Chain A
Amino acid sequence: MVNAGRPHAKQGSRRLVSLLAERHGQAIRQTVVRIRNGPLTAGLMSLVIGVAITLPALLVLISANLQTQLGKVEDMAEITAYFFANVPDNRAFEISERLQTQIARAEINYVSAASALAQLSEVTTLQPVLGSLESNPLPAAVIVRPEEPGVATAREIEQTLVSLPEVELVQLDFLWLQRLEAWLDLLDTLSSALSLIVVSGLLLIIGNTVGSSVQSRREEIRIIKQIGGTDAYVRRPFVYFGGFLGAAGGTLACLFTAAIGHQLATAVNALALHYQPAQPVQTVFAVAGLSVGQNLAIILLGASIGGLAAFFSVSRKIATFNP
């Protein structure tokens, strides 16, 4: 007859799993009932959380897409060193051969003055003019394509080339690359700051919602404590409720971000069309959406923020309830 307390305590660890399943299953069932009893509150809260998470998620999306585009641009980055006109062709060739060993991990192409002229006459309509020239006005050049994109690598190669006495001019469109990277850094910082603000905002919003739900269940909590419910028992359904709100909000944020991303792709392509009026759109800017992993991360993040906020809010409140 006398077997109050924990019925499973002596049944060994094999039963631990079923105990945990029972414990959390019960809390989840209660959470479901609570959501079903107040679907409007839960829905509106999820919507608020969803909108809040969408902002940083969009910034991440934009930043990721710009990084991709920048990567493509950086891949095309070239550093061109022009030799003085009086440097003989074979000497210039020799130097470019030596550069091959000096500069690791880069594609180095030597363009003689003659071949430069030939290339120019191929692509321009200036052929008659070029033909009338007495001597070749073009200098020999060496073109370096670094395998590793990035400003630092380019800067290093530039230094090497500038130090050569035979080189008259080193050309690298350097500044705009630097500026673009700075802008992207700014965007990243901005999205980090915004994420931080949103996370703290969510902690407060969810904490407050769950807190007021605790308040309205004061009587129930008092009774549960009277018949031996621990704080953890009381807390569990609230934590699940907070986690649910966060996860639902995260899911909505993923949907919003995907929808906005899709709209963005249309707008970007319309914009691109204006830069290429003569020909039909050749470059289609595919705006890449968030990856499956990123979407999952957002939902998980929402759930953990919700659970965490609920945990602290409930713990703080029920400590003050005396049965």
Chain B
Amino acid sequence: MIKFENVSMRYGPGLEALSKVSFEINRGELVFLTGHSGAGKSTVLRLVLALETCSGGSLMVAGKRIKGLSKSELALHRRQIGAVFQDHQLLFDRSVGDNVALPLQIAEFPHREIKRRVRAALDKVGLLHKETYSPAHLSGGEQQRVGIARAVVNRPRIILADEPTGNLDPELSVDVLTVFEQFSAVGVSILIASHDGVLLSQFGHRTLTLDQGRLSSHG
């Protein structure tokens, strides 16, 4: 589903975030991506989401080469990916429910269908009772879970998560990862960037370790 072949990413002369990284994630696989901060974890996720273009190598997602996609193809590409961002990236001028509805609205789902799916997704992260709240009135952990609900609401083929448990207490972290596991069980490929060693060992999925832009372990 995701295939990196000798992917390099340079932000400028001497600023190499990734160098010749190769790995592959299959359909329905849940993979952890770990490493120190600045090792290039976020860069990997940004490349898959096509928020940036790699400077070397080849990157295939869902059978398509990312390089050379047109603007509208890029938009469609991003719609098949559910992304959980480290800083949540929620819109504070609309309710929790409307935030979660955004991917469905963008994909132009019918009104009623949107309502139904939003409630299901919020229920999954245990926030159904806060549907009408503003994200501003939610704790960091709750905002994180709204972000997760938004990532899964469109039933994407790929889920990318950048430190999805960063703001959650251990118990909730396990809950959230269990949600991700449920998705991988039905065929969704999942890549989770995290440096929460305890959690990683607890779940025991394949782990990719990045060290200064190089893949040091394929797990």
Contacts and interface: CB of A to CB of B under 8 A. Distances in A.
Nearest to B75: A230
B79 A228 contact: yes
A219 B88 CA distance: 12
B55 interface: no
Contacts of A8: 108
Interface in B121-180: 150, 154-157
A2 B102 contact: no
Interface string B72-86: 100111111101010
A4 interface: yes
A217 B20 CA distance: 37
Interface string B85-115: 1000111010000000011011111110100
Contacts of B157: 2, 4
A228 B108 contact: no
Given A226-B49, A226-B78, 18 more contacts: A1-B188, A2-B155, A2-B188, A4-B80, A4-B107, A4-B154, A6-B76, A22-B108, A26-B105, A26-B108, A220-B91, A223-B91, A226-B85, A228-B76, A228-B106, A230-B75, A231-B71, A322-B51
B35 to A, nearest CB: 23
Given A223-B91, A227-B83, A228-B76, A1 B186 contact: yes
B155 A233 contact: no
A226 B155 contact: no
A12 to B, nearest CB: 15
Interface residues of B, number: 35
Contact of A224 (B49, B106, B110): B106
Contact of B79 (A4, A19, A25): A4
A6 B107 contact: yes
Contact of A230 (B49, B71, B81, B186): B71
Interface string A4-25: 1111100000000011001101
B187 interface: yes
A71 interface: no
A229 interface: yes
Nearest to B111: A22
Interface residues of A, number: 29
B79 A323 contact: no
11 contacts: A1-B187, A2-B157, A3-B155, A4-B156, A5-B80, A7-B108, A8-B108, A18-B110, A228-B75, A228-B77, A228-B81
Contacts, number: 84
Contacts of B186: 1
Contacts of B106: 224, 227-230, 233
Interface string A209-224: 0000000000110011
Nearest to B157: A2
Contact of B75 (A26, A220, A229): A229
Contacts of A1: 155, 186-188
Contacts of B155: 1-4
B187 A2 contact: yes
Contacts of A223: 89-91, 102
A271 B169 CA distance: 85
Nearest to A25: B111
Given A1-B186, A2-B157, A228-B103, A22 B79 contact: no
Contacts of B110: 7, 18, 22
Contacts of B75: 225, 228-230, 233
A233 B51 CA distance: 18
Contacts of B51: 226, 322-323
A227 B25 CA distance: 21
A22 B154 CA distance: 17
